């Protein structure tokens, strides 16, 4: 997974295959801001999280997925990706569920988990 928190590094936050045959990764992110990211598939092509909080155009003619950790909330983003899927008009990649809950009164880092 590449994003602005890791300077878009292909080697820093690598998703690992889990026992169910999918991929997962947990990244700790600071609360109070938004982060742009994309899934790096087969180390050569990128795909969006089709249930991201928002999408922002990038300099490559596509869009980046965005996770928003603003407004005093902590977000846990779980993404199920069994295998790389091609973008098909009218269809979405594997379903993704996002859950938001109120943060405790003391500020703590938010955690982003992709499965």
Intra-chain end-to-end CA distance of the chain, in Å: 11
- Alpha-carbon distance values, 38 to 18, 46, 51, 72 (Å): 20, 6, 12, 24
Most confident of 51-55, 76-80, 98-102, 104-108: 51-55
pTM comes to: 0.59
Most confident of 63-67, 86-90, 106-110: 63-67
pLDDT class for 72, splitting at 50, 70, 90?
Answer: low
> What's the whole-number mean pLDDT along residues 96-109?
39
**For 74, phi and psi rounded to 5 degrees?**
-110, 130
């Amino acid at each position: 997974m590449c994003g602005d928190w890791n300077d878009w590094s292909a080697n820093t936050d690598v998703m690992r295959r889990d026992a169910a045959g999918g991929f997962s990764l947990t990244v700790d992110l600071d609360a109070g801001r938004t982060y742009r990211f994309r899934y790096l598939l087969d180390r050569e092509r990128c795909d969006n999280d089709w249930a991201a909080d928002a999408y922002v155009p990038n300099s490559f003619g596509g869009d980046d997925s965005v996770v928003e950790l603003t407004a005093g909330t902590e977000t846990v983003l779980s993404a199920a990706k069994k295998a790389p899927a091609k973008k098909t008009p009218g269809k979405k990649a594997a379903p993704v569920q996002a859950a938001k809950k109120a943060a405790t009164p003391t500020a703590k880092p938010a955690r982003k988990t992709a499965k």
